[in-house]
Amino acid sequence: MMAIRSCVAVALVAAGCAIELGCGTSQTAVTNVTNPVQFQAQPFQRPEACLPCHQRQFDELRQAVKAGYRNVSPLFNGLEAAGNLINGGLLRPVYSDSTIVLPDGTLLNTNMFSSPILTEPRQVQAGFCVTCHNADIEMNGENPHTREVPALSGLGTMFNPTIFRPLRDYAMLDSSGNQLIPPQIGEYPPAGAQPSLGAAGITCDFCHDQNGPNLNRSFQHDGFGNTSLYLNPSKEKVGPFLFPVGVKNNFHVASNDTNKIAFLRAGAFCNTCHDVRLPNLNLTSHEVNINTGGSKVNVFRLENLSTEWQIGPYNSTNNPFGKVVRCQDCHMSMFPYAESSSYQVGDMSVTSPTPAVFPTDYAAVPGVSTDQNYPLQKRPVVTHFFTGVDVPLLSATELQARLGSTYPDPYANSIDTHGLPVAIAVRRQDLLQAATRVSLAKSDTSVVAGQSFTVRVEAVSLTGHRFPAGFSQERTAYIQLNVTDANGFVLYQSGYVVDKPHPNTGESAPDGNLDDEDIEHVHAVVDPGHFASGAYTPGTTTNGGNNVVFELGPDDGPEQRVFEGRPEGLVLFRNELTHIFLPCPTTPTNPPCTTDLVGRTDAQGNPIHAQTAHFEETFNAALANSVDNFRSLQPLQPRTFDYQIQLPTQSELQALGVTLKGPLQVHVQVNFEHFPPLFLRYLAQTTGPGGPTGIGLGLVTEQSIDSLLKNIQDISESDTTVNLLP
Amino acid sequence: MRSKLRLLILFWLLSGVALAQYGPGVYTPGEFQTTNPYYLLPNPFYFEGRIDWNLLGITTPTNAWEYMERAIHYQDDLGDTQSAIADYETGLTFNSLQNGSCQIVTPATLVNGALPTTLNPAPCIFTLRLRLGYLEQQPNPAQAIQLFQEVTKIDPLKLGINSLIGETYVIEAQQTTDPVAQQQAYANAIQAYQAELALSPVTSQSIALTGDLANNAHVHWALAQIYQTLGQVSSAISELQLYLQATQWHSDVYPWRIPLANALIKTLQATLH
């Protein structure tokens, strides 16, 4: 008997290896689940329930954005709050006991996750953020006794911003395990508070309870986006390989459903959440929900990461590694700490970390996890770091106050048993340093004094999707270029930042910090809105969101490069959320038309009205009605960006008292910000006491931006010299 | 040992059967993306600029937007300016205010106060005009100005367009040998630059929010140069001072212009006394 068991174990390890090495293709065929096998129901487990047998995975996952701090992040909470403050709370989930009636007389009692088919834009809005961040919490919420995030008591014009709480107010428990809501809205966690199930975000159970894609809930019936999957909280846990050893005390059973296993291992699993499509309410349609009954739901793309991967070279064998590289191969492997590979992309020679190299370890803790203490074999395993581009804007102290006293310091310098760095801050920096390469090899090699020359920066993304990706309209990657003479005299700079005051958030003088400064292509201040006594009115009139300051800066590259084709100024890889303002009818309407109000005044103080369709960058996704997702870098498609640079004339140099010394030094580097400071300042204001709530939600402040926002400089670089001819 | 081997082989066969279920001929998630009829369509106002040509899969352009995208590919990716100009020009014939093949979206476009589902003729595309205009700035400034002026009709609030017009009038002034035409071109340039400044005015509110006493540094720099050329010293000094205010917290891509502005102000002030 023992021999047979050993043999099966060997076979399992071998099979696991085989699947790990790519037998399970990323192009996993899936259909809606029919007649699923029913397993005994099991409530969603806290990750701590998995810890005794899966310590390594628990420790890794706790560092991950999605399962660690994200749901208590002031940014996520601020974004969700800002959207709600503008539209009257429509982004909060509703449940089956809702009595809200839609304009057509039907009940709004399903949310984005629980709607079988999304037939109403309001269903997409209901729980829009929570669904991807915490679909299990929405499922639990159908039972009022296990409901963590309550439905709001009033929506739209009935919304009351003064009693609106950030989501994280609901993410705490007292010592008895009961929900602990802080007495004051947005208050620091009371002493002894413990994290709720929802605080943990996408936990072990979310992924291992998946039951395949729910095509009916994806707008193109393709299993992409907006959490279009089935969750089945049961004792059946879907792991990555077949026939694992029995679990001690039958705490759970491992799924042997090959469809579910293959789905878990495929990019298709990630696709269910990593495309995010927003309802498009006030413009002609971009995309329509093609499912039966879905024709009223128009959407446009916010996050487009999965589509980018799906149509990109890494979802094929036409890439430097000659095989499909799945999401898991970079975000659940030893990447970027495995050995390097060298290859050619176009005319660029690249050396970068190799994907799909997995550590060897136990899948569970030997001696405690298996039935009858059956011995485990080491095998290639995935990691659960899910490294991304974020670090928390929370101090280590506050992280521990919200997520438990053992929550790790994001900046702690430690390595795990595989020799991999553990801290999320270290991992994100190393991941980003694997993302791009730049070259100056095509630049002019000489310039005549007083004339112009061209620096050519060739840039390539090595990521599986475009770069940046995800919330790519805020993720900010850009080129910093400096040209000096041999004495260090600065002749040209782009992608620079300047230390300056920020009166709108109370910083009255430069503070010596550059991480809280925006790049200089545009100067914008977003209207944070204000509390209005009397009835709440959805929209921008009192709730802000429009650009109250919007000016081109001295490094205006994005507009010039994209729309004018002009080889000057900032090269910005950030995608762009845009708001198309529509003119109003010439005859008065009831209620008065405000679609033409851009949010600013002219020199005389009169509101500026759009007389034609007007197009402008917006920083609030809730106000966007269009998006440009083509500013980011395509994977493995090198692009060359020209900078036409004019040297000062001889008379200008004389006036300056400068003599240039050659050769000119050209330095280029790619920098990364996870969020632009101006956007954080908007969140600070709109969720602050001066915003529509009138009391503040305790999320972002100038001080927290100053102390916690950490950008990554120089993720790739190149240097060259240019001869200066007389 | 042999039984173990048999078991192993049996398992491999079984797992092979299981994995083979995902072979060709079965619906594959994401397949839709490759032929998605929505994904790469322009937005309803053609307001985006560049979509990567290799993703579009267009063999032969058939409308203004497609010609524009191919032209952008020629210009940005291949450095082939002549082919780009040809395609921009062809694109314009499909999207022309003059022949009525495009429209500007105004209140008159609305039907019962709302935007109609289909806009026919299509909206006028500003990127097409801006890119062609930029390429024509030196060889044909008059045409460039006309194209830029059409953009100010399409979206009068769009920033940077009046600057382009001003810049092109300066080119026109520098190219002409007729003193009267030159003076007129400079006057037009000043007017255009001032129109640019009016779109993002410095107000008490903007000063309170940003601390900036001036903005649009490059517009002030350009105006200072024009006034210097015209011998209008006081105006030149004033614009240089505004340039310094605008760069106080923002520096410049050419940072040496900041000490140069200070030096010029001193030199110019000396000429006033």
pLDDT over 60 (residue B5): no
**Residue A135 vs residues A201, A302, A633, B128: alpha-carbon distances, Å:** 9, 19, 31, 44
Model confidence over B162-178: pLDDT tens digits?
999 999 999 999 999 99
- Give exposure, A95-108, as e/b (b: 16+ Cβ within 10 Å): beebebeeeeeeeb
Model confidence over A456-479: pLDDT tens digits?
999 999 999 999 999 999 999 999
Look at phi and psi of residue A552 and say left if phi exceeds 0, alpha if psi is from -120 to 50, else beta.
Answer: beta
Identify the closest residue of chain B to A498 by CA–CA distance: B250
Q: What is the mean pLDDT of residues A609-635?
A: 93
Q: Please report, rounded to a whole number, the percentage of residues in chain B having pLDDT higher than 90.
A: 73
Please, which residues have CB within 8 angstroms of residue A352's CB and are 6 or more apart in sequence?
A336, A340, A341, A434, A437, A462
Show residues of chain A in contact with B149, CB under 8 Å.
none
- Closest partner CB to B263 (pick from A553, A615, A656): A656
pLDDT over 70 (residue B19): no
DSSP readout, A362-402? Answer: -SS-TTTSBGGGPPP--EE--------S---SS-HHHHHHH
Helix, strand, coil shares, percent, chain A, to 5: 25, 20, 55
Model confidence over A301-337: pLDDT tens digits?
999 999 999 989 999 999 999 999 999 999 999 999 9
| Interface predicted TM-score (ipTM) of this complex, two decimals | 0.92
Q: Tell if the CB–CB gap between B210 and A503 is shorter than 8 Å.
A: yes
Alpha carbon A290 to its chain centroid, in Å, reads: 26
DSSP class of residue B193 equals H
pLDDT at B6: 47
**Residue A121 vs residues A110, A277, A289: alpha-carbon distances, Å:** 12, 11, 10
pLDDT over 60 (residue A35): no
pLDDT at A188: 97
- Stretch 616-645 of chain A: residues touching chain B, C-beta under 8 Å: 616, 626, 628, 630, 634, 637, 639-640
Report d(CA A269, CA A260) in Å as an integer: 10
pLDDT at A31: 58
Query: How many other CB atoms are found less than 10 A from the CB of residue A346?
Result: 13
pTM above 0.80, yes or no: yes
Min distance B160 CA to chain A CA atoms (Å): 7
Among all chains, which residue has been given the structure tokens 């929405």?
A138
Cβ contacts below 8 Å, chain A against chain B, sum to 295
How many CA atoms, within 13 angstroms, populate the side-chain half-sphere of residue A155?
A: 22
Model confidence over B113-165: pLDDT tens digits?
788 878 889 899 999 999 999 999 999 999 999 999 999 999 999 999 999 99
pLDDT over 50 (residue B29): no
Report d(CA A473, CA A458) in Å as an integer: 22
pLDDT at B86: 98
Show residues of chain B in contact with A6, CB under 8 Å.
4
Show residues of chain A in contact with B33, CB under 8 Å.
222, 224, 307, 310-311
Q: How confident is the model at residue A63 (pLDDT cuts 50, 70, 90)?
A: confident
Model confidence over A360-386: pLDDT tens digits?
999 999 999 998 889 999 999 999 999
pLDDT at B11: 38
3-state SS assignment for residue A293: coil
pLDDT at B186: 98
Report d(CA B273, CA B261) in Å as an integer: 19
Q: Tell if the CB–CB gap between A630 and B50 is shorter than 8 Å.
A: yes
B64 token code pair: 């203004």
Show residues of chain A in contact with B135, CB under 8 Å.
565
